[in-house]
Amino acid sequence: MTAGPSAKVSQSGKSSFKRGTSPPALIPYLVAGDPDMATTRRYLRLAASAGVFAVELGVPFSDPTADGPVIQEAARRSLRHETALSELLDWIEKIPREELPPLYLMTYFNLFHHMGVESFCHRARETGRVAGVVIPDLSFEDARDYRPIFRSYGINLVGFVSPTTPLDRARKIVREARGFVYYVGLMGTTGSALSLTSSAREMVKSIQEWTALPVCLGFGVSEPKMAQEILGFADGVIVGSRLVKEEEDPGRWEKTFLEFVAASRKGKS
């Protein structure tokens, strides 16, 4: 279980990633607290021992406008026992480092704003266990006010590029991105059906020419075979709804997760 993909982001946010030599990478997405924190911890441990590139740990928000029904439902389950952002950081800090993969916290901007972006960054750095953040509703333009804060604390702010993004805009986004570039594989919300188009391949290739950061594709990756295909051209693949769907049943989650791990290893070979 330790021979998995080894491209990692260190806790200081520096990437040891080298395109062409680093093996392709899997980024599973988990909703923190679904169905409970003990189960989340178990999934994190498993992901760490499988050597995933990173885990996107979703912090539930009451109004997740970019998420489809599966993640909305999981967030609602988790919100029943109030998974607050600051408490989640306390919780993360207590987990032994070897049981944690590199963590990217994913949630909507209001939760960061409410805690205070600077307070969040300060606490996140203190835990020594947060590589970065993924904030779907913080647009490139609005991020201008906050980017310097994330940077000064070494918290990577991931950049999003979507199929609707024009090339010149994509280039600006990629230039300011840290950690990895999140290429949204399809137009829509998380968990819709993805069909890979040649334009997605071309876009990922263009982005790879502009940046040394890993370019990871997410949204709608519903099968291990699809993950494998994506890893034929992308540096990483994010698997969200397909895994979140199984979160309530650890047996099924583990089985599905391992299938994706196996597929991602085959990806580039």
Partner 1 sequence: MSKESAALKKGRKGSREISPSLPDYRGYFGEFGGRFVSETLMPALIELESAFKIAWRDPSFRKEFQGMLAEYSGRPTPLYLAEALSRETGGARIWLKREDLNHTGAHKITNAVGQALLARRMGKRRLIAETGAGQHGVATATVAAKLGFSCQIYMGSEDVRRQALNVFRMKLLGAVVSPVDLGGRTLKDAISEALRDWSRSVGETHYLLGTAFGPHPFPLMVRTFQSVIGQEARRQFLKRVGRLPNVLVACVGGGSNAIGLFHPFVSERAVRMFGVEAGGIAIAPGLHAARFAGGSVGVLQGTKTYVLQNGDGQIENTHSVSAGLDYSAVGPELAYYRGTGRIVFDSVGDDEALEAFRMLSRTEGIIPALESSHAVAYAVRLAKTLPRDANILVNLSGRGDKDVMEVSRLLEEKGETL
The question of whether 67 is a catalytic residue gets the answer yes
Applying CB under 8 A, the site for partner 1 has a residue count of: 41
DSSP code, position 188: S
Answer for which of 156, 189, 208, 228 binds partner 1 (CB under 8 A) is 189
Taking CB under 8 A as the rule, does residue 110 contact partner 1? yes
Answer for which of 164, 195, 199, 269 binds partner 1 (CB under 8 A) is 164
The span from the CA of 60 to the CA of 73, in Å, is 10
Q: Which among 14, 5, 12 is positioned nearest to 180, based on CA atoms?
A: 14
The span from the CA of 180 to the CA of 176, in Å, is 11
Of 220-249, binders to partner 1 (CB under 8 A) are: none
The question of whether 141 is a catalytic residue gets the answer no
Strand partners, 105: 57, 133
Q: Is the peptide bond before 136 cis (omega within 30 degrees of 0)?
A: no
The span from the CA of 64 to the CA of 134, in Å, is 13
Answer for which of 131, 184, 216, 244 binds partner 1 (CB under 8 A) is 184
Q: Which of 34, 56, 73, 247 is catalytic?
A: 56
The span from the CA of 107 to the CA of 37, in Å, is 17
Taking CB under 8 A as the rule, does residue 264 contact partner 1? no
Of 26-65, binders to partner 1 (CB under 8 A) are: 61-65
Query: Which residues bind to partner 1, rule: CB under 8 A?
Result: 61-66, 68, 72, 79, 82, 84-85, 108-111, 113-115, 136-142, 144, 160-166, 169, 173, 184, 187-189, 192
Give catalytic residue positions. 56, 67
